[in-house]
A and B are shown apart, each in its own frame.
Chain A
Amino acid sequence: MLQTNLTHVASLTEHTELLNNNENVMICCGRMGPMCIPVYESMEELENEYSNIKFADMEFDSPDAKVIRELPECRNFAGLPFVVYYKNGKVVKATSSIQSRDQITEILDEKFGK
């Protein structure tokens, strides 16, 4: 399990439930690596600022993470973490590799509003 304070998505069922129960969702699918950790840290902080968004992580190497790894939006990705933003269950944005807090905030504001 990833060592973060975010909600952990451990299975396809949990992934589905998360999307069904939340209008706006951001999932960071990664490992405890140097490109991923800064993203988790930003998310942990942003969680306090965006009550309208559910922030979660998912272990990249878990078999069920194929739900993210195999998304068409991620097919060209070659850098961890894969970060996917969902609105009403649909992917509205996906990014590959490290993103700064400012870059994440810009996406959150654009896709979900504050």
Chain B
Amino acid sequence: MQNNYDVIIIGAGAAGLTAGIYLSRAKVKTLILNEGAVGGQMVLTHEIANYPGVENISGYELARNMKSQAQKFGCKIRSNIKITDIQLTEEIKQVTINNKETFTSDAVIISTGGKSRTIGAIGEDKFKGLGISYCATCDGDFFQDKEIIVVGGGNSALEEAVSLTKYASKVTVVHQFDHFQAFEHYVEEARNNPKINFKMDSEIVEFSGNEKLNAVRIRNKISGDISEMNIDGVFILIGYVPNTEMLRGIIELNGNNEIKVDNNMATNIPGVYAAGDSIAKRFRQVTTAVADGTIAALSCAEYVHNNKKEPLEV
């Protein structure tokens, strides 16, 4: 059957592509199904300078290289699809996509990664691209000499707040807690920047404007007071959430909706593995995703081999 594979990998970020490379090179018939563009969170990084052996590369280029490497070994990749149904508990796994095509396999690796966390405040969808951005390096230059807000208190938020002062006349960091989660040197750099000020214990509850964003309503979480602030732009940099909605009730997740795995990247379902940013772990880097993908692929290849009793060429 043409749509039958040894392994289906769901997600084509660093973890999924790495698993694709390992499995295809081992002659394991592999299909990667990916709901977005190939590369996942890697593509969101303009410059990667800490990937061992590669001094400097854009996230896009690294993703493209990984994709091409996987395809060279025979891995099939279908991107920009939508998964409409997934059956993981039976011996033969089954994944159906939006055009009604169904694929089956002996094993599945889930590497669905994460997506930018949104605030969920009123008006957020409406003003995306019209004042609200999730990518400081992409859209910073639209806010030359304008007043902006950066939402968040982690490394990305404070690093980008400093970076955005190259363009903006004033940057207000809005953070929901009374302290930052970022490394101390990012906090210090932000605090020492005269263009940056802070609204702690605060959250945006509404975005407003006509054709573009021009104000936000901010609630102080301690007092409950709501204030309005005129603003030209808001950068929302509050981390990522795992793409695991489709797995709820199917696979074991933790309280953060991250997939629980063991040391072999095995989930609670036989033949189902997970890797990358969608699993429960502390550090999320391209290198850790690559490591997860490798382990998942090797474990998965062993599972397929044991099921089929065919020679394994890993």
Contacts and interface: CB of A to CB of B under 8 A. Distances in A.
Interface of A: 3, 31-38, 41-42, 45, 76-80, 95-98, 100-102
B306 interface: no
Nearest to B79: A41
B11 interface: no
A41 B38 contact: yes
B310 interface: no
Interface of B: 36-39, 43-46, 58-60, 79-80, 82, 128-135, 137-139, 142-143, 211-212, 233
Dominant secondary structure at the A interface: loop
B237 to A, nearest CB: 13
A43 to B, nearest CB: 10
A7 B134 CA distance: 28
Contacts of A45: 79-80
Given A32-B60, A41-B37, A79 B79 contact: no
Contacts of A95: 129
A76 B130 contact: yes
B60 A77 contact: no
B139 A80 contact: yes
Contacts of A76: 130, 211-212
Contact of B130 (A3, A32, A33, A79): A79
17 contacts: A31-B138, A32-B58, A33-B137, A34-B45, A34-B59, A38-B36, A41-B79, A42-B80, A45-B79, A76-B212, A77-B130, A78-B133, A78-B212, A79-B129, A79-B132, A79-B142, A80-B139
A16 B132 CA distance: 32
B135 A78 contact: no
Contacts of B128: 79, 96-97
A3 B59 CA distance: 14
The prevalent SS among residues of B at the interface is: loop
Contacts of B135: 33-35, 79
A40 B87 CA distance: 31
Contacts of B44: 34
A72 to B, nearest CB: 11
B208 to A, nearest CB: 14
B36 A100 contact: yes
B138 A34 contact: yes
Contacts of B129: 77-79, 95-98
Contacts of B60: 3, 32, 34, 37
A32 B59 CA distance: 10
A83 to B, nearest CB: 10
A41 B134 CA distance: 19
A77 B211 CA distance: 9
A39 B142 CA distance: 20
The 8 A-B residue pairs with the shortest CB-CB distance in the complex, in nearest-first order: A97-B129, A96-B129, A79-B129, A38-B37, A76-B212, A78-B142, A34-B44, A41-B37
Given A35-B134, A35-B138, A41-B37, 13 more contacts: A34-B46, A34-B135, A34-B138, A36-B138, A37-B43, A38-B36, A38-B37, A76-B130, A77-B130, A78-B142, A79-B132, A97-B128, A97-B129
A98 B134 CA distance: 10
A101 B143 contact: no
Task: Give the interface centre of A3, A32, A45, A96 by most chain B CB atoms within 10 Å.
Answer: A96
